[in-house]
């Protein structure tokens, strides 16, 4: 008799009771019970119903399964679930991952390595079909009740699992698929939400084949080839040292920046298969190809393979760790559709699927070839992709020392961005005495508390300034920064406060909708700093910002990019004083290129997946 017993619940709302009952009837008798929203007339809340589902675990059960009512289960769902519990009894198990997510990217690497499970990565933890050990389910329910009406359940789940060091895995392939019959909780604006890889007749077995410790995750989302890169602590460079849920932080980059930092310049080159695309758009074709190119590059360069079966880092993987062709084909076929799902209907996506799959395959092969070409002669072993350095022998390399702030989340993104752009970056904890031999960038002002609201001080419009010193000729430049936003930026800044509220489905409150801001995205700041290091400007005072916008325009962009929350009626308040001094000139040849909507999307992702761990207590 097995040591483990699984009970299960389908969480639902009265509007979807019939769907929940059909799902329960499709399972083995007694496997799933329907759990209803305890306050169906209240504000829509997945978390409220999920907590009831976790608390509905049966007496004597060691694990609880919770499934949302709009899921389709694979034919072997319960067989694989029970085998996985026996293999990983102390772990949280997600049985679904979205096609445009970071966890979906991890699943694709798992499919390429022949894994059946991949270690979850720092994102949300998928909760539409999930299994927790009894003690973990109980602990999360208590934690969630302290945070009702705040964050979505999957964000809170990731926070809870990471804080408690609970091993967490995602299935390869997914054991459930999303039916997408509309969203009561307000997620319909995201477009079709399909699995990264769903095979209804997946054959159970080999549940011990796992892939963990991923460092680089290329994924196609919001029409952009993005890349999450894990920062590696100095004492965590040994093989498999990054398996702990809380090992290192993640930087939010794009694929092109990551590749450039790895010595691969894509530029404007368009492979023939991208140029000749007919069914899809040039942007979708290039995005899918670039994402797949980065996948192939990382897979080949890192030599990704399943974890040793014995748990010994020096042991070899099991003999059965070979890719399943059907799983791999489906995982690759969803790269393109996932990347365009935010803006296109399912019917139109289906028309492009086959062509995008061919483009993805071509990109994957090209990336593998590029990794082989960039491997140093005589080196047979792969080099971890997080180990990147500027080529100090290049003629256009400039050395820069960063003072203070380099260890902050924003500082980490700036250091990485400048390094990927080809600069040799060192970090200092204090300013050196005398004239520095190389360029010196003081980030101290970025470590100070930000202004918390666009309207917090109507009589001033504070501007942060950085100091950049160049050695030849010896010149000091003052850089006036606009309102920073994007990866690494805090939740309580002028823009961050509104993004933070939208993430939690709170109304956006503007005291003065006419107040003006000057957005400056993290990536645009990096490109400006890189340009200044290479080409000193003629003026000693420089302004770095995008065009002015009003607080009302910012709020509308946030409602589009993050979540369509309502606007709270403005309260009577003193009007902000208009700017009385002219904004300094921008560096010659520099122009912000980050589109506001996409920039806000990246800021929201960073706050939800990284920033929350710096703020929310468990």
Mean per-residue pLDDT over the chain, rounded:
88
User: Beta-carbon neighbour count of residue 31 at 10 Å?
Assistant: 19
Q: Kindly give, in sequence order, each residue whose CB lies less than 8 Å from that of residue 400, ignoring residues fewer than 6 positions away.
A: 418, 423, 424, 425, 426, 438, 439, 440, 441, 533
Element (H, E) at 599: helix 596-606
pLDDT value, residue 395: 47
SS3 34: strand
pLDDT band at residue 163 under the 50/70/90 scheme: very high
pLDDT band at residue 124 under the 50/70/90 scheme: very high
Helix axes 153-163, 134-145, angle to 10 degrees: 120
pLDDT value, residue 233: 56
User: Beta-carbon neighbour count of residue 322 at 10 Å?
Assistant: 12
> Is pLDDT of 29 > 60?
yes
pLDDT value, residue 405: 84
> Is pLDDT of 348 > 50?
yes
pLDDT (tens digit, 9 = 90+) per residue, 364-374?
A: 999 999 999 88
Rounded CA separation 447/431 (Å)? 15
Rounded CA separation 32/464 (Å)? 56
pLDDT value, residue 454: 45
pLDDT (tens digit, 9 = 90+) per residue, 286-324?
A: 999 999 999 999 999 999 999 987 544 444 555 457 899
- Looking at residue 98, the DSSP 8-state letter turns out to be B
User: Beta-carbon neighbour count of residue 127 at 10 Å?
Assistant: 26
For residues 39-58, average pLDDT: 94
pLDDT value, residue 169: 98
Quote the longest CA-to-CA distance of the chain: 80
Burial of 258 (0-12, 13-18, 19+ CB in 10 A): buried
More confident residue, 451 or 3: 3
Which stretches within 375-491 are classed as H helix? 409-420
> Is pLDDT of 523 > 70?
yes
Rounded CA separation 520/543 (Å)? 10
Rounded CA separation 282/276 (Å)? 9
pLDDT value, residue 181: 59
For residues 231-250, average pLDDT: 56
User: Beta-carbon neighbour count of residue 83 at 10 Å?
Assistant: 17
pLDDT (tens digit, 9 = 90+) per residue, 379-422?
A: 444 444 554 444 444 445 688 999 888 889 999 999 999 999 99
Task: Indicate the pairing of strand 168-171 with strand 117-119.
Answer: antiparallel
> Is pLDDT of 180 > 80?
no
Rounded CA separation 348/169 (Å)? 32
pLDDT value, residue 403: 85
Rounded CA separation 516/520 (Å)? 13
> Where is average pLDDT lowest: 257-271, 325-339, 577-591?
577-591
Residue in 355, 322, 324 with CA at minimum distance from that of residue 337? 355
**If you search the block for the tokens 């009970």, which residue do you land on?**
7
Share of the chain above pLDDT 70, in %: 86
Q: How many CA atoms lie within 13 A of 588 on its CB side?
A: 7
More confident residue, 530 or 450: 530
pLDDT value, residue 393: 41
Helix/strand number for the chain, H first, E second: 18, 25
For residues 214-240, average pLDDT: 81
Find the length of the chain: 618
State whether the Cα torsion 514-500-216-111 is positive or negative. negative
Rounded CA separation 615/373 (Å)? 43
pLDDT (tens digit, 9 = 90+) per residue, 417-473?
A: 999 999 999 998 888 877 777 899 999 888 777 654 444 443 345 678 999 999 877
pLDDT (tens digit, 9 = 90+) per residue, 147-162?
A: 998 899 999 999 999 9
> Is pLDDT of 32 > 70?
yes
Q: Kindly give, in sequence order, each residue whose CB lies less than 8 Å from that of residue 167, ignoring residues fewer than 6 positions away.
A: 88, 90, 91, 92, 119, 245
Rounded CA separation 103/244 (Å)? 16
pLDDT value, residue 312: 47
pLDDT value, residue 576: 55
Bridge partners, residue 605, by sequence: none
> Is pLDDT of 614 > 50?
yes
Residue in 171, 178, 170, 181 with CA at minimum distance from that of residue 194? 178
pLDDT (tens digit, 9 = 90+) per residue, 245-294?
A: 445 689 999 999 999 999 999 877 789 999 999 999 999 999 999 999 99
> Is pLDDT of 565 > 80?
yes
Under a CB-based contact definition with an 8 Å cutoff, are residues 153 and 128 in contact?
no
User: Beta-carbon neighbour count of residue 442 at 10 Å?
Assistant: 19
């Amino acid at each position: 008799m097995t040591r483990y017993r699984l009970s299960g619940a389908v969480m639902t709302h009265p509007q979807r009771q019939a769907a929940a009952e059909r799902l329960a009837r499709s399972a083995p008798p007694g496997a799933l019970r329907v759990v209803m929203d305890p306050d169906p007339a209240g504000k829509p809340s997945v978390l409220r119903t999920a907590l009831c589902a976790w608390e509905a675990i049966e007496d004597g059960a060691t694990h609880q399964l919770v499934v949302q009512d709009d899921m389709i289960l694979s034919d072997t769902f319960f067989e694989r679930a029970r085998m996985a519990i026996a293999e990983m009894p102390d772990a949280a198990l997600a049985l679904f991952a979205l096609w445009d997510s970071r966890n979906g990217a991890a699943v694709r690497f798992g499919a390429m390595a022949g894994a059946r499970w991949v270690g979850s990565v720092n994102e949300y933890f998928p909760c539409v079909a999930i299994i927790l050990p009894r003690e973990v389910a109980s602990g999360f329910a208590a934690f969630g009740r302290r945070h009702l009406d705040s964050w979505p359940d999957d964000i809170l789940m990731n926070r809870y699992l990471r804080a408690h060091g609970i091993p967490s895995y995602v299935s390869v392939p997914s054991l459930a698929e999303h039916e997408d019959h509309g969203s009561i909780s307000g997620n319909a604006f995201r477009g079709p939400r399909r699995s990264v890889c769903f095979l209804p007749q997946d054959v159970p077995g080999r549940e011990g084949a796992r892939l963990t410790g991923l460092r680089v995750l290329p994924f196609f989302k919001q029409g952009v080839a993005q890349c999450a890169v894990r920062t590696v602590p100095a004492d965590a460079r040994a093989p498999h040292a990054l398996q702990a849920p809380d090992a290192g932080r993640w930087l939010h980059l794009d694929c092109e920046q990551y590749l450039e930092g790895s010595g691969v310049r894509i530029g404007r080159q368009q492979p023939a298969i991208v140029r000749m695309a007919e069914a899809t758009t040039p942007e979708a074709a290039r995005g899918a190809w670039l994402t797949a190119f980065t996948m192939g590059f990382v897979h080949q360069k890192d030599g990704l393979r399943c974890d040793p079966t014995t748990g010994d880092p020096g042991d070899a993987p099991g003999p059965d760790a070979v890719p399943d062709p059907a799983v791999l084909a489906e995982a690759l076929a969803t790269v393109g559709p996932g990347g365009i799902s935010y803006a296109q209907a399912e019917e139109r996506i289906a028309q492009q699927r086959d062509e995008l799959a061919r483009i993805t395959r071509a990109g994957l092969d090209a990336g593998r070839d590029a990794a082989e070409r960039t491997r140093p002669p005589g080196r047979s072993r792969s080099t971890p992709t997080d180990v990147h350095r500027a080529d100090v022998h290049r003629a256009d390399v400039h050395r820069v020392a960063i003072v203070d702030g380099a260890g902050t989340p924003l500082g980490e993104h700036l250091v990485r961005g400048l390094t990927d752009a080809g600069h040799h970056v060192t970090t200092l904890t204090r300013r050196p005495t005398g004239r520095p031999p190389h360029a010196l960038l003081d980030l101290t002002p970025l470590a100070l508390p930000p202004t918390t609201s666009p309207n917090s001080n109507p009589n001033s419009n504070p501007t942060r300034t950085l100091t950049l010193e160049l050695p030849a000729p010896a010149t000091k430049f003052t850089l006036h920064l606009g309102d920073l936003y994007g990866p690494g930026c805090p939740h309580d800044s002028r823009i961050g406060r509104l993004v933070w509220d939208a993430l939690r489905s709170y109304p956006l409150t503007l005291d003065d909708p006419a107040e003006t801001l000057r957005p400056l995205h993290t990536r645009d700041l990096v490109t400006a700093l890189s340009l200044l290091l290479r080409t000193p400007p003629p003026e000693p005072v420089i302004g770095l910002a995008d065009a002015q916008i009003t607080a009302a325009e910012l709020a509308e962009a946030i409602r589009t990019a993050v979540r369509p929350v309502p606007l709270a009626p403005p309260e009577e308040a003193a009007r902000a004083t208009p700017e009385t001094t002219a904004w300094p000139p921008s560096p010659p040849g520099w122009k912000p290129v980050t589109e506001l909507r996409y920039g806000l999307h990246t800021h929201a992702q960073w706050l939800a997946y990284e920033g929350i761990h710096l703020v929310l207590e468990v």
